Structure 1
């Protein structure tokens, strides 16, 4: 049983008493739980729509504040929640900006808790008190940030900022301990590896049409082979992000010259010319370990106003654990840029801005929606753990065929700077919390984790 009700502390109740709306009378209750804490209780019933708990139970359960939250009744236990811990790194000593430059993002994310009916807090590996089973979490309210002691959560949402941080020994050990020793669902663990995703998708015949030809053997022979078939190729890091480390290589058959576009260490867009691939690799990729790169077929993209266009699509799981498209936008490349990223001069447009014709707009939207939902399901099937959101970078050629360039497990949010994507920005945050509600309900129903 699941319900969404206000929960309040009532001083007049006896120490072990709770007062439940009589609409829930058919489900017996003998104890009450919050996070990993559970206490015996004696229920009474009333005709109102609020759950009242005694002051002692309110304090013992470490409820952060009175509010409207979910109630789950399972095997005579009334669970309050969900209590969602967002795991990250990079905390500062400032209560005003506890997570530095990312404080604004997290304040927006935590501000959605009341819309969904949940308690959400931010924590890092050093905020865990393993001995007494509590955490010193950062919570956000109308008054700003504050620290509160809370029990271990029902669910953890992984928002580690980058791959380097994720590999830190303390952080990986923390994740493993919470998952294995406490059977707490941990969603969105790990950054995707481009080659790994490509291989897993290639298993399914329905995925193959979306995938550019790709190889993890970055050799001169393989590059020559690709350039004989395609107008240009990309050389990309398997674990890259933000378009960093991407090289676009073009072969001019008439002149016998190779051109390469890339972003240098100063983040400037560069174009260089070489007489051979050996010289090109020896110059622009001289000290790079090519075993960490892939070669990918170049796709001549749809163009608007002389700029190449690709698309960012966000998918999220909803409160029923089903995939849905939560945001969609077009990105136009900056001058001389190898990618459409905003840090390379790219511009974000809504699909209606780019395709004012209703038929065109509907066609592009339908194709991107179909591709993103099919690929989300496939990735979810083939990768371990709980995945709650994916950010896709798609290309579309002149025939409007959709191509998958990249899938991101922790998608950036630069497209949401566009003023007309504000609702999508809110929706993507809300859905992350709603998916945590779903995982909470399932973990209560299957405490041994058999639903994973």
Structure 2
């Protein structure tokens, strides 16, 4: 199992490495690797019995290893010591301002990169324009105690996909980077692709465990389908197949007593409109929308907080052992008159302790949410392509205590962590996001051997 160690540097032009006394090697190491860079060096066990790795400045410079790194993970392979993992975080939308190299998202990424010492990884931010394919170097952005800095490093051991939206993901230049890194350089690329809601639903529907959490969901095909679902459930949601942040979500409600239809939605404000027929509602509300890209989902009678519906965000992450862990649970209370619980539509984040005052009730629902998230994480991992390391689930709990999956997000937002009671979960999710790279590095190192470095 790879271990995390403190690292120090000493002035010497020669390529010299002193490795920790408890770092057991099968053979006497002769080479040091960092990312795709590998250098022959004089390697000896620490002469003074310390469990620390010491590198000469000449070796660090040759490896393109940043000197501000204070802790690092050591991997052992044949006659090599591998330092890392070097984690490239791939994204787009870079600015020309060194203080905010990724615009408004700079703060989000600075928090993520700030956890590197406690995890023992070396993360950096980059886009396709920062890659030198010939020299196999990346001019990446690092976050240090002095702020953002840019420096050249080798190709990373793993790449974490943080493209901001589907549009950037579909760009040919983004696709080329992923294809070359994976196929030419054997670099594992984790969390690729935004989930398509209908595709996830249809794939999970074949899993016996997952099907228990799935509300009836179908592509919009006819008024008749909506009428049938309204008759059965009383209300339904019409939402974009590839939507996010609650945008474009409409709640359709049927009042049997008055034979009236209502539509609740949000654009610049919350709306509740009344119609005499479903056809009139659809023609007025969805006149300018492509209904072929919408899906219809069963409405659920949710638990409420002061008469406002609640749903729950649950974050699941893989850890350094490659195992799924629940890293965060939060409640989201809908804004007054809003069809969703998103903050932008008046929603409010609360901790699960604030929602369930009774400890027995709280533990019961917390266990149900955790088990649902773990079962669905394993199902999604089996059913979908690519390496998945994190998932954000939106769950509902009905008045009978049943858990329902509304959405699974491959790149979950972090708005829930604005709540001061979720600070520890905020840090844990960031740490796990990076520590999963340790598992991927070890796994691919064993699989590809010398090809990996």
Q: TM-score, normalised by structure 2?
A: 0.96
Contact 1:309–1:395 under 8 Å retained in 2:
yes
> For residue 17 of structure 2, what is the aligned residue in structure 1?
18
Aligned to 2:64, what secondary structure does the other structure show? coil
The Cα RMSD (Å) is: 1.6
Q: How does 1:293-372 map to 2 (within 5 A)?
A: 293-372=294-373
Aligned to 1:377: 378
In structure 2, how many angstroms separate the alpha carbons of the residues matched to 1:112 and 1:175? Answer: 25
Partner of residue 131, structure 1: 134
Q: CA deviation at 1:327?
A: 0.3
| Residues in 1 aligned to 2:24 and 2:322: alpha-carbon distance in whole angstroms | 28
SS at match of 2:448: coil
Distance in structure 2 (CA, Å) of the matches to 1:429 and 1:149: 24
Deviations 1:106-144 (A, max 9, x none): 000000001111111000110101110000100001110
Equivalent-residue separation in structure 2 for 1:401 and 1:388 (angstroms): 27
Hey, what's the Cα distance between the residues in 2 that align with 1:323 and 1:356? 28
**Structure 1 Cα separation of the partners of residues 21 and 411 of structure 2:** 43
Q: Using the TM superposition, give the Cα deviation of residue 25 of structure 1 relative to its aligned residue in structure 2, in angstroms.
A: 5.2
Q: 2:240 maps to what in 1?
A: 237
User: Could you tell me how far 1:20 is from its partner in structure 2?
Assistant: 2.3
- Please state how far the C-alpha of 1:252 moved relative to its aligned partner: 1.7
CA distance in 1, matches of 2:210, 2:311: 19
- Contact 2:35–2:157 under 8 Å retained in 1: yes
SS, match of residue 94 in structure 1: coil
2:176 match: secondary structure: helix
Map of 2:399 onto structure 1: 398
Q: Given the superposition, is the C-alpha separation of residues 52 and 237 from structure 1 closer, same or farther in structure 2, using an over 3 Å criterion?
A: same
Q: Kindly state the Cα deviation for residue 283 of structure 1 after the two structures are TM-superposed.
A: 1.1
Residue 48, structure 1, aligned to residue 50, structure 2: yes
Q: What's the counterpart of residue 105 of structure 2?
A: 102
Q: How many residues align?
A: 448
- 1:206 is displaced (CA, Å) by 1.7
1:448 Cα deviation from its structure 2 partner? 6.9
- Mapped to 2, the partners of 1:69 and 1:450 lie a distance apart of 22
Distance 1:27 1:6 in 2: 22
Tell me if the contact between 1:183 and 1:449 (Cα under 8 Å) persists in the aligned partners.
Answer: no
CA distance in 1, matches of 2:450, 2:223: 48
SS of 1:131 mapped into structure 2: coil
**Structure 2 CA distance for partners of 1:308 and 1:450, relative to 1, 3 Å:** farther
1:2: how far off?
A: 2.0
Question: Which stretches in structure 1 are left out of the alignment for 5+ residues?
Answer: none
Structure 1-normalised TM-score?
A: 0.96
**1:418 aligned residue:** 419
1:244–1:292: structure 2 CA closer, same or farther, 3 Å change rule? same
1:83 aligns with 2:91: no
Map of 1:280 onto structure 2? 281
DSSP-derived class of the 1:447 partner:
helix
